[in-house]
Amino acid sequence: MRRSLVVGNWKMNGSRDKTRALLGEILAGLGQLANVDVGVCPPYVHLPDASELLKGSSVLLGSQNVADQDEGAFTGEISAPMLLELGCALAIVGHSERRMVYGESSALVAARYAKAIQHGLVPILCIGETLEERESDRTFEVIGEQLDAVLNSSGVASLTKAVIAYEPVWAIGTGKTASTEQAQEVHAWIRAKIAKLDASVAEKIQILYGGSVKGDNAAALFSMPDIDGGLIGGASLDANSFLKICHSA
């Protein structure tokens, strides 16, 4: 059976004080969870504080992106070795806000993914369609291309060291969650696509759902056979909501 994973994507929110307070509340309320891993991805500048606070706990630390290079003249980028030094275990790559607001191509996302894999940082590869793409029946074409960019450059075996997050762009931060059936349909499609290349990798890969997951819809989403947890934005900034989601997994 696959373990579940719930990861908070804090995006560009908080402050040093808020990071300490939020993590304190999460650690106090988490308790013992069977078969569920929990992670948080604070902004880069708050990783050192978070790392300190999470020492000795089971909560995984993650970054919101990772450079496609190891070091050098790449202003504004943070490399996998730097993140590992701070105790990061996870790195989100290809979030739709990176793809759409900052123009990251699938090729760049694949290069970031490859660097994470190379250094032993687990990439959480985000894929998902826009509303326009869904309404023009292009959902599977779009997420197929996003997946292929990574499969063609890093190979299917790399997925044994990665996590996929299906995040329909129209559901992110909008309050419009995909229905359990809509989400399950895409998760099953992703798993079947991987299974065509390697059935055992497909069986093991954790596929998270992201997009307006809240305390009151998490349990239904997580009960679907191909949904192995969630990537949580807005609701991860409130300890009670995040803890409720973690306990639903």
Catalytic residue among 95, 97, 104, 133: 95
Tell me the C-alpha distance between 237 and 234, whole Å.
6
Is position 30 an interface residue for ligand PGA (rule: CB under 6 A)? Answer: no
Interaction pattern, residues 171-210, with ligand PGA; x per rule: CB under 6 A: -xx------------------------------------x
Is position 124 an interface residue for ligand PGA (rule: CB under 6 A)? Answer: no
What's the N-to-C CA distance of the chain in angstroms?
A: 13
Is position 66 an interface residue for ligand PGA (rule: CB under 6 A)? Answer: no
Tokens 């504004």 -> residue: 76
Q: For ligand PGA, which residue of 133, 234, 243, 246 counts as binding (CB under 6 A)?
A: 234
CB of 173 to ligand PGA, least distance (A): 4
Nearer to ligand PGA, 122 or 201 (CB): 122
DSSP 73: S
Is position 39 an interface residue for ligand PGA (rule: CB under 6 A)? Answer: no
Contacts of 35 (CB under 8 A, 6+ apart): 1, 3, 4
Stretch that binds ligand PGA, among 24-32, 114-122, 198-206, 227-235 (CB under 6 A): 227-235
Chain-centroid distance of CA 188 in Å reads: 18
- Is 95 known to be catalytic? yes
**Helical spans, DSSP H, in the chain:** 16-30, 47-54, 80-85, 96-101, 106-119, 131-135, 139-154, 180-197, 199-204, 218-222, 239-248
CB of 128 to ligand PGA, least distance (A): 9
Nearer to ligand PGA, 67 or 221 (CB): 221
Kindly report the backbone phi and psi dihedral angles of residue 161, in degrees, each rounded to the nearest multiple of 5, phi listed first.
-115, 25
Cβ–Cβ < 8 Å for 89, 83 = no
- For 104, other C-beta atoms within 10 Å of its C-beta total 20
- Is 119 known to be catalytic? no
CB of 23 to ligand PGA, least distance (A): 18
Contacts of 174 (CB under 8 A, 6+ apart): 211, 212
Is position 212 an interface residue for ligand PGA (rule: CB under 6 A)? Answer: yes
Nearer to ligand PGA, 139 or 236 (CB): 236
Sign of CA dihedral 96, 97, 103, 104: negative
CB of 91 to ligand PGA, least distance (A): 14
CB of 72 to ligand PGA, least distance (A): 29
Nearer to ligand PGA, 187 or 201 (CB): 187
In the complex, the residues that contact ligand PGA under the rule CB under 6 A are 9, 167, 172-173, 210-213, 231-235
